[in-house]
Structure 1
């Protein structure tokens, strides 16, 4: 059985592909538990040095629940693909690993772009997490040349 000692440095080919997909969308969902209950939270992400940096509203306390815990962060192109943007293939990626509260410098914080003005009616106060992905899952749904079925509202 191979050990991690013989693995080449850097992300695995699957992780590298998933990270490239992640770069195509700005937001995803963070999943973990808080007070023994599961929750999902929206977060803005950027990728730096093979790690995922997240920006979320600190007023909810989700970043504190995640600090030092194993979390899952996922994103997809379902809305963009349904709108006919970015090709016809649907994809989703999921990264699982430990999270840590971080305080990015101005250059890294600038990668996130403009922050929302408000979160649930409160002034947006950013909190940042770094996720070190240990497990990566990628799913795609290819439609070849067939058109996507769209439902009228």
Structure 2
């Protein structure tokens, strides 16, 4: 491979890495998001509580909904945003990651990071199930260039 192609490939990989870091950092600024995958050939979105640990996104979902069965072992998309929490004049952003999702058993420290669980979901006692997503692809969108100024050290 010629030197110019290697340089372009490295720059592209560095850009992907920076985008992934920014997406994961933004996801870490929120508490809840939406996971997207398909179940019985139909797409669906489900809410989840999340934390970010070592570049992975850990999810806590209600077992009673059964969505974890479609997510575990599959490639999923997970995203969040500040659309409802942005202050007046603050840039809007959304961040999404795509990656392999697996069932996990969080450590005691990770469980503490999740904070208190709800008592009920859809009128049933909440029983948590935990999943982890290793980001393989990410996208970040923002308005007014606010993220570029705020996260210059990551980009």
The 2-side partners of 1:63 and 1:132 are apart by: 16
> What is the SS of the residue equivalent to 2:114?
coil
Answering whether residue 138 of structure 2 is matched by residue 136 of structure 1, we say: yes
TM-score (norm. length: structure 1): 0.83
- Which residue of structure 2 lines up, in the alignment, with residue 35 of structure 1? 40
Q: What is the CA deviation profile of residues 1-32 of structure 1, one whole-angstrom value per residue up to 9, with x for unaligned ones?
A: 5579xx68xx8111111122112110000000
Instruction: Report the counterpart of residue 153 of structure 2 in structure 1.
Output: none
Partner of 1:53: 58
Kindly indicate which of the two structures has a greater share of residues assigned to helix: 2
In 1, distance between residues paired with 2:96 and 2:104?
21
Q: Over aligned residue pairs, what C-alpha RMSD do you find? A: 2.1
Gaps of 5+ in 2: 147-155
Q: Distance in 1 between matches of 2:116 and 2:144?
A: 33
- Equivalent of 1:14, from 15, 19, 27? 19
The Cα of 1:37 is off from its aligned counterpart by 0.8
Structure 2: how far apart are the matches of 1:70 and 1:15? 16
What SS class does the counterpart of residue 73 from structure 2 fall into?
coil
CA distance in 1, matches of 2:53, 2:138: 16
Could you list the per-position Cα deviations for residues 25-69 of structure 1 after superposition, in whole angstroms to 9, with x for gaps in the alignment? 100000000111111000011001110000010111111111110
Q: How many corresponding residue pairs?
A: 137
Structure 1: unaligned runs, 5 residues or longer: 145-153
- Cα distance in structure 2, aligned partners of 1:62 and 1:104: 19
Equivalent in the alignment of 1:112: 114
